[in-house]
């Protein structure tokens, strides 16, 4: 003999079953169950900055990209350009080697061209430039001319059409640091000499 259940009991059972099903299937949509974006980012690999000082820029470019980092090269002066056929060496890295960076982070490196490296090897200390002509100073400092600031002033004690370096910074014999600014004050007796001949015009 069939047992009949009251309609209210059947409805209550159906509602309870429906709520349980919804809560069981929809748990991922609850705010408390979602994975925060910051937690997802923490799964990105951490990459240690390699020691790049003294190494060739072109080789390092490929290596750093292979690690998942972005290389940002910068010359020692605004005029520094590393040509494709030139061997340029890195002398500074930022952040420091060994620093842990997220995948895709930027690594800044400062480089020297071949001519700039040769200049610093030949001049570990600031040479004496005072008393020399502007043309002499231009030849010696040509590789790092982007770091040189030249100011001129009239100097009647000189022969017409000539010039001489009157002051210099750093002082002679001072250790010359890579990237250090250099300044000359040049006295000149123009004497009708055209500006196009002067290297600092």
Work out the average pLDDT over 131-137: 96
pLDDT single digits (tens) 156-167: 899 999 999 999
Query: Does residue 47 have a cis peptide bond before it, meaning omega lies within 30 degrees of 0?
Result: no
Domains of the chain: 45-116 (3.30.10.20), 123-197 (3.30.10.20)
R_g over Cα of the chain: 35
CA distances from 14 to 2, 8, 11, 17, 67 (A): 20, 10, 5, 5, 58
pLDDT the model gives residue 132: 97
Estimate to the nearest angstrom the gap between the alpha carbon of 148 and the chain centroid: 21
pLDDT digits 0-9 by tens, 5-54? 444 444 444 444 444 444 444 444 455 555 555 545 556 679 999 999 99
Q: What integer is the mean pLDDT of 77-97?
A: 94
* Cβ contact 170:141 at 8 Å: no
For residues 57 and 92, the answer to whether their CB atoms sit within 8 Å is no
């Amino acid at each position: 003999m069939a047992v009949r259940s009251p309609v209210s009991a059947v409805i209550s059972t159906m509602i309870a079953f429906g709520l349980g099903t919804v809560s069981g299937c929809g748990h991922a949509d609850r705010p408390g169950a979602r994975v925060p974006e910051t937690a997802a980012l923490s799964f990105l690999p951490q990459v240690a900055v390699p020691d790049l000082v003294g190494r060739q820029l072109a080789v390092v470019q490929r290596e750093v990209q292979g690690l998942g980092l972005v290389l940002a090269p910068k010359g020692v002066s605004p005029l520094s350009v590393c040509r494709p056929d030139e061997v340029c060496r890195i002398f500074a890295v930022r952040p420091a080697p060994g620093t842990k960076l997220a995948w895709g982070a930027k690594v800044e490196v400062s480089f020297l061209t071949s001519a700039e490296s040769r200049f610093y090897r030949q001049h570990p200390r600031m040479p004496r430039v005072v008393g020399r002509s502007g043309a002499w100073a231009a030849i010696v400092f040509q590789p790092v001319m982007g770091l040189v600031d030249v100011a001129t002033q009239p100097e009647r004690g000189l022969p017409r059409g000539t010039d001489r370096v009157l002051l210099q910074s750093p002082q002679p014999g001072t250790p010359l640091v890579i990237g250090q600014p250099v300044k000359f004050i040049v006295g000149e007796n123009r004497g009708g000499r055209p500006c196009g001949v002067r290297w600092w015009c």
